[in-house]
Chains A and B, each alone.
Chain A
Amino acid sequence: MTLHEPIAIGRLASPRPRLAEILLWLTPAVAYFLFPDNLALGVSIMTYAVAVLALDLALGYAGIVSLGHAAFFGIGAYTAGLLTIHGWREPLTGLLIAGAVSLCAGFLGSLLVVRGKDLTRLMVTLGLGLVVFELANRMSGITGGVDGLSGIDVAPLFGVFEFDLYGRTAWWYSYAVLFGVFVFLRVVLASPFGLSLRGIREGGKRMPALGASVESRLRVAFTLSAGLAGISGGLLAQTTQFVGVDSLSVPLAAEFLVMLVLGGTGRLYGALAGTALFLIARERLADLNPVYWEFWMGVLLMAVVLFLRGGLVGALARLWARLRPASEGGAR
């Protein structure tokens, strides 16, 4: 196969889990006990990772580049926040509703974005994002505008676990949601639908010949991706008890894109690694130098492109492939 779909990771993308993966999913749990003072960062990473996974579905698998995903993220966040404020305080159903509302918004968006080439899609999604942002800004009576939506008091999880100051409940909650979304995506991508998406990405023009309607599949992928981004936003609203209008902003959408490309597109683990690296680097660099940290962040991004083509996980996969040549080559 082509180089950017190497064997080892190709394996990881199969629905059956491997030992390495189980260990990987245990690392956050270990981190929970090793760094009990850093739970806030952990919660942020896992929250945003859901959105970056969602973007990976659209960009990495369906090939739709989007600078509008913050719109769906933010719609989810406002939905979850407004539900809580207006009395629906149960978190799990709140999260599902947030996802559903974003899903609907995503469907409407998908009618516009599926057509066109990369740059056109980029700009159309960007335009949608800007319009949604401006709408939220205008409707400050509902959204709180730039001052944000505060007073989000979520009920305890399962009626038992309060969302505490240290972020313990938030941590396990976002961990579970992230895992759930990951497994869901894994199943979707291994389904015939998921395989057809890859087929479209590899050579869109040939797919109709196989009896697949390209446009409707891309539309479904984009819609699904928007719904998952909404779940991520809902998670943010519930775990931070606040929604700012910046959660709908284009800079945030650009951050999602940067995180994904940093980790490696078209790989679920790339989305996770990119989010973690980006947020940890930003937090630590800003602690070291609160004023000029952006310089080093920029250097980091450029270095990754120059030396680790295909993002972190892409480079890892290539290294892996080189280390264990032919022996597993025929496995697929």
Chain B
Amino acid sequence: MMRRHALGLLLAASALTAAAPAAFAAETAETVKVGLVLPMSGPFSQYGRQMENGIRLFLQEHGDSVAGKKIELVVKDDGGIAPDRARRAVQDLIVREKADVLVGFAFTASAMASAPLAKGAERAMIVTNASSSGITSASPYMLRVGQTLPQITEPAGRYAAEQGYKSIYTLVADVTAGHDAEAAFKRGLTAGGGEVAGSLRVPAQNPDFAPFIQRIKDARPDAVFVWLPPGEATINFIKEFNQRGLAAEGIAMLGTGDLTDELTIEATGDAGLGVVTTGHYSMAHASPENEAFVKAYLAAYPKDKWPNFLAVSAYDGMAALYLGLEKTGGDASGPALAAALAGASWESPRGPLLIDAETRDVVQTIYVRKVETLDGRLSNVEFHEFPESRDSAVH
């Protein structure tokens, strides 16, 4: 008797599993497939991890269906700054995976290489990190929820001008992003009446900053503005700056959030204390939305400490998608989503966020922060803000 029961159950179970694919097939029209193009391996795999976490956290909190559609994720690795692979991933997502929406793009090159495909196939591209100025003009269906480099950099120049520093040096990595940061900082500084006394460009891969820091030390400016790619370069720079006694001599260090990123600042030890940066997100941002976000992130991904701007941007990428799908009633096509999201605004963990109606680019508050010890760890504590900052480069 018992045996029969068991057999019956087994049969029922197998019938269920057999029915499952059919149910799936019927449902595909009701799903929105989201292709994620992220650097999951290689030197920037931490970026990809942060972004994937942010995206999954949003799904975990808000459910995986919106406007009657089920959201399905497909992750593609582009391996870092490899536009060729990003583009192939996008082509694969559109042609083979039949993805409806593309989210991610850590680097401008990846986004720009993919833009013609997304434009041709009328797919929305929600860019969560690529930061060069004005990239959304590459496709009418591209929108950006991360940040633009001029947007976060120019306020640093304005802040420096407000401080009345008499002589300021800039030091940037000799790559396009560094050149853009240098120009944006100068723009902000001169707009506020300040002037740059000298500029240094350093190789992007530079194991030893001693000669450059010594040059700055010999020049004895009041402050130095730094843009370097976050990672061993920023850590090494802050440490060497301190070791050589520049901080002790009263030379102030300014930068963008890249310099004191949540993931790297701990490695600088006390050397990082007092560094002032401008950025759109700090884990220490005081708002109920952010407190909830950080708590949920740490609970869900205790090993991937800590959430930084990438996690928030990706989280907001999904927020944008959900908002857009609600407005279009589930229509995930590029034109519909782009139209629905132009001019949209919402409250993000980082603060108020707006998608510009004309450029589809992000508009947000840029905060001036100082590195202080908070709850026993180095944090970017906000103390001043530039609301409604925009992408500002002239091109």
Contact = CB atoms under 8 A, between A and B. Distances in A.
Contact of B84 (A134, A150, A165, A242): A242
Contact of B113 (A39, A140, A244): A244
B121 A165 contact: yes
Contacts of B92: 37-38, 40-41
Contact of A241 (B48, B79, B109, B116): B116
Interface string B67-107: 00000000111010111100110011011100000000001
Nearest to A286: B77
Contacts, number: 109
B40 to A, nearest CB: 4
Interface stretch (B169-177, B309-317, B348-356, B386-394): B169-177
A246 B44 CA distance: 14
A150 B116 CA distance: 9
Nearest to B175: A146
Which among B48, B91, B94, B113 has the highest number of chain A CB atoms within 10 Å? B91
Interface in B170-187: 174-177, 179
B199 to A, nearest CB: 15
B82 A146 contact: no
A287 B75 CA distance: 8
Given A145-B176, A146-B177, A246 B81 contact: yes
A293 B41 contact: yes
Interface string A292-304: 1110000000000
A145 B84 contact: no
Given A137-B174, A291-B45, A242 B112 contact: yes
A166 interface: yes
Given A40-B92, A242-B83, A290-B41, A150 B179 contact: no
B87 A242 contact: yes
Contacts of B174: 137-138
A148 interface: yes
Nearest to B76: A290
Given A167-B91, A244-B109, A290-B76, A146 B176 contact: yes
Nearest to A137: B175
Interface residues of A, number: 35
A37 B88 CA distance: 12
B264 interface: no
B109 A44 contact: no
A6 interface: no
B72 to A, nearest CB: 15
Contacts of A150: 112-113, 115-116, 138
B108 interface: yes
A246 B77 contact: no
A247 B176 CA distance: 16
A131 to B, nearest CB: 12
Interface in A31-46: 37-41, 44
22 contacts: A37-B96, A40-B92, A41-B92, A146-B175, A147-B177, A148-B108, A150-B113, A150-B116, A165-B95, A240-B84, A242-B113, A244-B82, A244-B83, A244-B84, A246-B109, A286-B40, A286-B76, A290-B40, A290-B75, A291-B45, A291-B49, A293-B41
Interface of A: 37-41, 44, 134, 137-138, 140, 144-148, 150, 165-167, 236, 240-242, 244-247, 283, 286-287, 290-294
Top 3 A-B pairs, shortest CB-CB distance: A145-B176, A242-B113, A244-B83
Interface of B: 38, 40-41, 45, 48-49, 75-77, 79, 81-84, 87-88, 91-92, 94-96, 107-109, 112-113, 115-117, 120-121, 132, 138, 174-177, 179, 203-204
